[in-house]
Amino acid sequence: MTPPAPQGPGSGEPAAETILTVTGVDKVFGSGELAVTALRDVSFAVQPGELMALLGPSGSGKSTLLLCVSLVEEPTAGTITIGGTTLYDGGWTGLDLRAFRRRNIGFIFQGSNLIPFLSARENIELALELNRVPRSRARKRAGELLDYLEIGHRAEALPAAMSGGEQQRVAIGRALANEPPLILADEPTASLDTERGFRVMGLLKDIARDSRSAVIAVTHDERMIEGFDTIRRLADGRLTEDAAGPRASGEGKGG
């Protein structure tokens, strides 16, 4: 199944160029004797439609890297370029980071992080409305995404009334709403049982294949990364491994 075509500002032909380029990124918290280096000279690139797993033990710097790529945490050194736009080059380049994030990055969280007082449909509509998509179009697009994610019948349910798997599907719908070129997933299966976890990861693979969005999924569960294009590992702030997954070796990389 293909994600429905977007109708908002984020729509358009997927970029053929590299989606994300991270070069020589360092991140140091504190200073002097109290300085803690969270990331050391991290470099990698992600292509359109690529499904990348980021593995690492607790405290390895996964979250910090995700926050830097999310344009939330300012690195100490290096460059970050998303969709050809350099956002960080030894300092923020002065772009409106919130607006950029709104249009170009979708987020999927560990515990779905749906807005608890909005229904499934409204959670997806919100992502579109923040991006100034007219309400009627946002409503139509939300309905299409819910149908695509096979939870159209739960459109008016509040998160508290949905199962963990349903919530995570809504969260995926929200991340896809503006069809951002980059989707960041932070432990998307952590709060799900194994079966639902596999289903969510399957959805992410479909999205990467069908929508050409690059997906970076942080996880600690290696069973879940089967079929990922790229597997990168972080240890003590260093990217120590860069392995090609089965899709990368020709088992069905989308495109």
Partner 1 sequence: MDLAVRDARQHLGKFLATTVGVGLLVAIVLIMNGIFRGNIADGLWLASHSGADLWVVQRDRGGPFNESSRIPEDLKHSVQATPGVARADPFISYGVQRELAGEERQFTIVGYEVFGGMGGPDRITAGRPIRATHYEVVANVDLGLSVGDSIHLGIHDYTVVGLTDQGVDTGGNPVLYLALPDAQRVLYRIDNRAREAQEARDRDRLAEAGYRGAEAERLLALLGDSTSTISAVLVELAPAAGPSRVAAHIEDWLYQSVYSTAEQRALLMQGRLQSMTAVLGVFRSLLIGVAIVIIALLLYVLTLDKLRAIATLKLMGAGNWVIVRLTLEQSLVITVASFGLAYGLVLAIKDDFPRRLVLLPADTATTFAILFVGGVLASLVGIRKALRTPPAAALAG
Q: How far is the CB of 247 from partner 1 (least distance, A)?
A: 26
Contact flags string 139-178 toward partner 1, x per CB under 8 A: -------------------x---------------x----
Strands 230-235 and 51-55: parallel
Binding segment for partner 1 among 14-22, 49-57, 80-88, 96-104 (CB under 8 A)?
Answer: 96-104
Instruction: Give the integer Cα–Cα distance in Å for 42 and 125.
Output: 35
Please report whether residue 248 would count as binding partner 1 according to CB under 8 A. no
User: How many C-beta atoms lie closer than 10 Å to residue 246's C-beta?
Assistant: 14
The stretch near partner 1 (CB under 8 A) out of 18-26, 43-51, 69-77, 237-245 is 69-77
Q: Is 117 in the site for partner 1 (CB under 8 A)?
A: yes
Considering the rule CB under 8 A, would residue 7 count as an interface residue with partner 1?
no
User: Which two structure tokens, joined as six digits, stand for 73?
Assistant: 């945490």
User: CB-wise, 186 or 229, nearer to partner 1?
Assistant: 186
| Region from 33-41, 124-132, 193-201, 205-213 binding partner 1, contact rule CB under 8 A | 124-132
Among 28, 45, 67, 248, binds partner 1 (CB under 8 A): 67
Question: Is position 187 an interface residue for partner 1 (rule: CB under 8 A)?
Answer: yes
Q: Which stretch binds partner 1 (CB under 8 A): 7-15, 26-34, 63-71, 240-248?
A: 63-71
Q: Does 179 bind partner 1 (CB under 8 A)?
A: no
- Residue 63 in contact with partner 1, rule: CB under 8 A: yes
Order of strands across the sheet that contains 238-244: 105-108, 182-186, 214-218, 51-55, 230-235, 238-244
Q: Does 72 bind partner 1 (CB under 8 A)?
A: yes
Closest CB to partner 1 among residues 68, 203: 68
The reply on whether position 95 binds partner 1 by CB under 8 A is: no
Q: Which of 1, 5, 115, 161 binds partner 1 (CB under 8 A)?
A: 115
Angle, alpha carbons 86-4-224 (nearest 5°): 70
Residues near partner 1 (CB under 8 A) = 63, 66-67, 70, 72-73, 98-103, 107, 109-111, 113, 115-118, 122, 125-127, 129-131, 135, 158, 174, 186-187, 190
